[in-house]
Copies of this chain bind each other. A is one copy, B any other.
Amino acid sequence: MSLPQRQTDIGPPHYEHFLPPVIKKNYGKWKYHEVLTPGTMVHVAESGDKIWTVRVASPRILSTVTIREISDIADNHCGGHIRFTTRNNIEFLVSDEEKLAPLIEELKEKGYVVGGIGPRISNVIHTQGWIHCHGAATDASGLVKAMMDEMFEYFTTKELPNKVRLAVACCVNMCGAVHCSDIALVALHTKVPVIDHEKLKNTCEIPTIIASCPTAAISPDPAKKSVKIKESKCMYCGNCFTVCPAINIHDAERDGIAIVVGGKIGSLRSDPKFSKLAYTFFYNDPPRWPKVIAAVKNILNTYAANARKHERVGEWIERIGWEKFFKMTNIPFTFQHIDDFTFMRETMRTAATFKW
């Protein structure tokens, strides 16, 4: 069987080939939009043209079976056009109001979940986990599924003070949006990695390993033609493992999950913010990690009940103060919450002002 003629450096297809006609026509000339339901909105162009969007949840891992199915739906209602969002939801677009109801009907019929628009929870940005990554300290997709089952109403119906952006990363490389999310899970190793000196000698470059360590915990071990790790300096980031497979960071009993909160990306009202540590550690507890999910719900519910309209999680916490956040959520405050190194400097309180 002969292969077609390969091409190189052509880049992706030009986006114009894929734009629905109403978009091509009104490109850059939209005037306003209205959110109609938790899963639908309409954008109105200066020309008066309109486009309705129906947003559908996706597990992000899609089989070709499912991609073919949503293509069928898009053929039936959307003139063969479809898009995905930056948070991995699927969007069906129609330029004719009459097409909206039948589209939604078919979607519901086939078990698709409509929602995620407006001040609520949308899809969870996440990473590969045990499904594809060698570094994963947890599974990302499983956590997302377990979490979204419990948050489901906030995707499909209920409102929150503002959007709440969730994320999951399966190690501190954080191939996602954890560091700037409203509520996010990040998997941690908590034990100094174990070195296979024989393997290391043959497979890895010692200077690269030494340079990889953020805390300078690694030094040469000339006797073994390998390296050694100063235990008190290691914070289990796994960067040495990334550059050298002979260093094993995994530990089934001590890998676990932290929850960070209060990050955001947009500049509305307040600057983009980093997420900060809320819960320090949970053991891995697949397939549904009940304690982790309960903890997320605790934070979410406290936010939902107390924040002002339009306040993001981080804005709410900053208004009430972190000591009050810990009090209201009953999250235990530990040594681990206090930052280290020069980061400590900006994060310690430098005012004799307290809430009790």
Contacts and interface: CB of A to CB of B under 8 A. Distances in A.
Interface of A: 267, 271-272, 342, 346, 350-353
Count the copies: 2
A346 B339 CA distance: 15
A42 to B, nearest CB: 28
Nearest to A353: B267
Contact of A272 (B272, B342, B350): B350
Interface residues of A, dominant DSSP: loop
A271 B351 contact: yes
A346 B350 CA distance: 16
A312 to B, nearest CB: 14
A4 B277 CA distance: 64
Contact of A267 (B272, B346, B351): B351
Nearest to A267: B351
10 contacts: A267-B351, A267-B352, A267-B353, A271-B350, A271-B351, A271-B353, A272-B350, A272-B351, A342-B342, A346-B346
Given A267-B353, A271-B350, A271-B351, 7 more contacts: A267-B351, A267-B352, A271-B353, A272-B350, A272-B351, A342-B342, A346-B346
A321 to B, nearest CB: 12
A346 B352 CA distance: 22
The 3 closest A-B pairs by CB, nearest first: A267-B351, A271-B351, A267-B353
Contacts of A271: 350-351, 353
A13 B302 CA distance: 56
A331 to B, nearest CB: 24
Nearest to A274: B350
Contacts of A272: 350-351
A342 B272 CA distance: 19
A252 B353 CA distance: 45
Contacts of A351: 267, 271-272
Contacts of A267: 351-353
A342 B343 CA distance: 10
A353 B272 CA distance: 10
Nearest to A273: B350
A301 to B, nearest CB: 29
A108 to B, nearest CB: 39
Nearest to A266: B351
